[in-house]
Structure 1
Amino acid sequence: MADQPPVTRPPIRAEVAGNRLELIESGAARLALLLELIGGAQHSIKMLMYMFNTDSVGERVRDALVEAAARGVAVQLLIDGFGSDAARDFFAALNRAGGEECVFNPSYGRRYLLRNHQKLVVIDGQTVIIGGANIDDTYMNDRGPEHWRDLWLRLDGPEAAMPGRYFDTLFRWVTRRRPSLNYARRRLAEFSEWRGPLQWKFSGPLSMRNSWWRSIGRDIRSGHRLDMIFAYFAPPSAMLRRIGRLGRRGRARIITAAKSDNNATIAAARSSYSRLLRRHVEMYEYQPARLHTKLAIVDDVVHIGSSNFDYRSLYINMEVMLRIKDAGFAEAMRGYVERELADSKWITPELHRRRANMWRRLKWALSHFLVNIMDYTVTRRLNFRAER
Structure 2
Amino acid sequence: MADQPKPATATADRVHATVGGDRLELIESGTERIETLLQIIAEAKESVRILFYIFDSDDSGRRVRDALVEAAGRGATVHLLVDGFGCSTAEPDFFKPLKDAGGDFCVFNPRYGSRYLVRNHQKLVVADDRVGLIGGANIQDSYLTDEGDKRWRDLWLRIEGPAMASAGEYFDSVFRWTKRKTAKLRQLRRIVARHTQHRGVLQWKFSGPLSRKHSWPAALSREMSGAKEIGIIAAYFSPPWSVMRRLGRIARGGGKVQIITASKSDNTATIGAARHTYSRLLRRGIEMFEYRPAKLHTKLAIVDDVVHIGSANLDFRSLYINLEIMLRIDDANFAASMRRYFDGERADSEQITLALHRKRATLWRRFKWTVSHWLVTSMDYTVTKRLNFNEG
The TM-score bracket by the shorter chain reads over 0.9
Match of residue 224 from structure 2: 220
Q: TM-score by structure 2 length?
A: 0.95
Does residue 332 of structure 1 match 2:349? no
Does residue 315 of structure 1 match 2:314? no
- Of the three residues 49, 73, 78, the one matched with 2:76 is 73
What's the offset of the Cα at 1:324?
Answer: 0.4
The amino acid of 1:202's aligned partner reads: F
Match of residue 382 from structure 1: 387
Does residue 63 of structure 1 match 2:66? yes
The amino acid of 2:35's aligned partner reads: A
The amino acid of 2:258's aligned partner reads: R
Unaligned runs of 5+ in 1: 1-7
What's the offset of the Cα at 1:88?
Answer: 4.1
Contact 1:189–1:206 at 8 Å: present in 2 too? no
What's the offset of the Cα at 1:375?
Answer: 2.3
Contact 1:255–1:283 at 8 Å: present in 2 too? yes
Does residue 235 of structure 1 match 2:239? yes
Contact 1:148–1:290 at 8 Å: present in 2 too? yes
Contact 1:201–1:212 at 8 Å: present in 2 too? yes
Contact 1:184–1:206 at 8 Å: present in 2 too? no
CA distance in 2: counterparts of 1:343 and 1:10, whole angstroms: 17
Match of residue 51 from structure 1: 54
What's the offset of the Cα at 1:382?
Answer: 1.0
Query: Paired residues, what number?
Result: 380
What's the offset of the Cα at 1:206?
Answer: 5.7
The amino acid of 2:216's aligned partner reads: W
Q: TM-score by structure 1 length?
A: 0.96
Does residue 177 of structure 1 match 2:181? yes
Does residue 292 of structure 1 match 2:319? no
Match of residue 19 from structure 1: 22
What secondary structure is seen at the aligned counterpart in 1 of 2:95?
helix
Identity of aligned residues (%): 58
Contact 2:53–2:82 at 8 Å: present in 1 too? yes
- Of the three residues 185, 209, 212, the one matched with 1:208 is 212
What secondary structure is seen at the aligned counterpart in 2 of 1:112?
helix
The amino acid of 1:201's aligned partner reads: K
CA distance in 1: counterparts of 2:44 and 2:375, whole angstroms: 42
CA distance in 2: counterparts of 1:24 and 1:247, whole angstroms: 31
Does residue 165 of structure 1 match 2:169? yes
Match of residue 143 from structure 1: 147
Aligned alpha-carbon RMSD (Å): 1.0
The amino acid of 1:172's aligned partner reads: R
- Of the three residues 183, 189, 192, the one matched with 2:193 is 189
What secondary structure is seen at the aligned counterpart in 2 of 1:94?
helix
CA distance in 1: counterparts of 2:173 and 2:387, whole angstroms: 36
- Of the three residues 274, 278, 283, the one matched with 1:273 is 278
Unaligned runs of 5+ in 2: 1-10
CA distance in 1: counterparts of 2:356 and 2:248, whole angstroms: 19
What's the offset of the Cα at 1:383?
Answer: 2.2
What secondary structure is seen at the aligned counterpart in 2 of 1:89?
coil
- Of the three residues 354, 357, 362, the one matched with 2:362 is 357
What's the offset of the Cα at 1:208?
Answer: 1.6
Match of residue 82 from structure 1: 85
What secondary structure is seen at the aligned counterpart in 2 of 1:111?
helix
What secondary structure is seen at the aligned counterpart in 2 of 1:63?
helix
Contact 2:189–2:208 at 8 Å: present in 1 too? no
What's the offset of the Cα at 1:363?
Answer: 1.1
CA distance in 1: counterparts of 2:382 and 2:186, whole angstroms: 27
- Of the three residues 87, 103, 112, the one matched with 1:99 is 103
Contact 2:81–2:106 at 8 Å: present in 1 too? yes
CA distance in 1: counterparts of 2:332 and 2:191, whole angstroms: 33
